[in-house]
Amino acid sequence: MTTELGELRFNRLLVAVDGSANSELALSAAVTAARRDNSALTLVSVAPDAAERALWPGALAVPQPAQSELDAAAEATLREALARIPVDIPVERIVRRGAAGPQIVAQSKAGCYDAILLGARGLGRISGLVGSVSQYVLKHADIAVFVAHAPRETPAPPGGAAAR
């Protein structure tokens, strides 16, 4: 006996953006769903907490960016993502500070979202990601989570253009 699957419908989507290719794919999927369902999007970008980063092993060996630089990078990531979203899609933008996984989950619980979309892995502008954000979100979120994994770019063949 087969049963027909119903289509998913979304009213509000939380989309974590970090500027990586995986994050861009998640954003594209969110825009597609938003257009189809007349959904609203909330973009969230998480700036690492400079004080917490200073406690990471090896942090003293490498100069650490100031909190203002980390916050500005998160804001820039949001602005760039927002600029590519069609104007007919309602969008809210949020910057949070701290560890990305817990902050994304906290935002999902603070709002009334149907699902979280995020990239499988990606550092974006801010390096030093410890652990897997997507795995954390999958484990701790209490709503649907969709993880996007962009295909790897195929390297160009030696000598430039493909042989004819």
State the pLDDT at residue 116: 98
Domain boundary assignment for the chain: 12-148
Higher pLDDT, 8 or 52: 8
Separation between Cα atoms, residue 33 and residue 148, nearest integer Å:
14
| Tokens of residue 100, six digits | 């990305």
| Tokens of residue 152, six digits | 């790897």
**What confidence tens digit (pLDDT) does each residue in 122-152 have?**
554 444 343 389 999 999 999 999 999 888 7
Query: Does residue 11 register a pLDDT over 50?
Result: yes
> Per-residue pLDDT averaged across 105-131, rounded?
76
Higher pLDDT, 147 or 65: 147
Task: Assign residue 128 a region (left: φ > 0; alpha: ψ between -120 and 50; beta: otherwise).
Answer: left
- Contact present, 159 and 58 (Cβ < 8 Å): no
| Overall pTM surpassing 0.95 (yes/no) | no
Please spell the DSSP secondary structure of 66-92, one letter per residue. Answer: PHHHHHHHHHHHHHHHHHTS-TTS-EE
Q: Under CATH, domain 12-148 is a member of which superfamily?
A: HUPs (3.40.50.620)
Separation between Cα atoms, residue 3 and residue 137, nearest integer Å:
30
In percent, the amount of the chain with pLDDT more than 70 equals 80
Query: Does residue 163 register a pLDDT over 70?
Result: no
> 3-state class of 40 per DSSP?
strand
Separation between Cα atoms, residue 38 and residue 22, nearest integer Å:
24
**Looking up tokens 């996007």, which residue turns up?**
148
| Tokens of residue 108, six digits | 């999902």
Neighbours of 118 (CB within 10 A): 31
Residue type, 39: S
